[in-house]
């Protein structure tokens, strides 16, 4: 069972039975966030950066592309469900 620790009350409260967490973030939100991350590093001159900073930029770029790819796959699966070949 999931427990939430409330620092102001200094006690743990249990969620009611049957509580279901709903993710309110859509694929569009993930795509937009990843796009903004890529756009925010796009104009940075990597020649003036240290090696560690360059690797962070590459990491942001590659993870953002992976997020976009994953969200696009999910959207595609929702829009074009797989055809059941047993029919």
Number of structural domains found in the chain: 1
Is there a contact between 27 and 74 (Cβ–Cβ < 8 Å)? yes
- pLDDT of 2-60, one tens digit each? 444 545 544 456 767 777 666 667 889 999 999 999 999 998 998 899 999 999 999 99
In a domain, 83, yes or no: yes
Q: Is residue 6 part of a domain?
A: no
Domain range spanning residue 53?
A: 24-87
Give domain status of residue 11, yes or no. no
For residue 81, how far is the Cα from the chain centroid?
23
User: What tokens does 33 get?
Assistant: 């966030």
**What is this structure's pTM?**
0.64
Assess if residue 1 is contained within a domain: no
In a domain, 29, yes or no: yes
85 lies in a domain?
yes
């Amino acid at each position: 069972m999931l427990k939430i620790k409330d620092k102001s009350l200094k006690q743990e409260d249990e969620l009611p039975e049957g509580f279901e967490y709903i993710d309110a973030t859509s694929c569009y939100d993930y795509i937009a966030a990843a796009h903004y991350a890529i756009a925010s590093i796009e104009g940075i001159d990597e020649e003036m950066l240290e090696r560690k900073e360059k690797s962070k930029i590459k990491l942001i770029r590659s993870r953002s592309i992976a997020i976009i790819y994953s969200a696009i796959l999910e959207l595609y699966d929702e829009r074009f469900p797989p055809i059941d070949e047993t029919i």
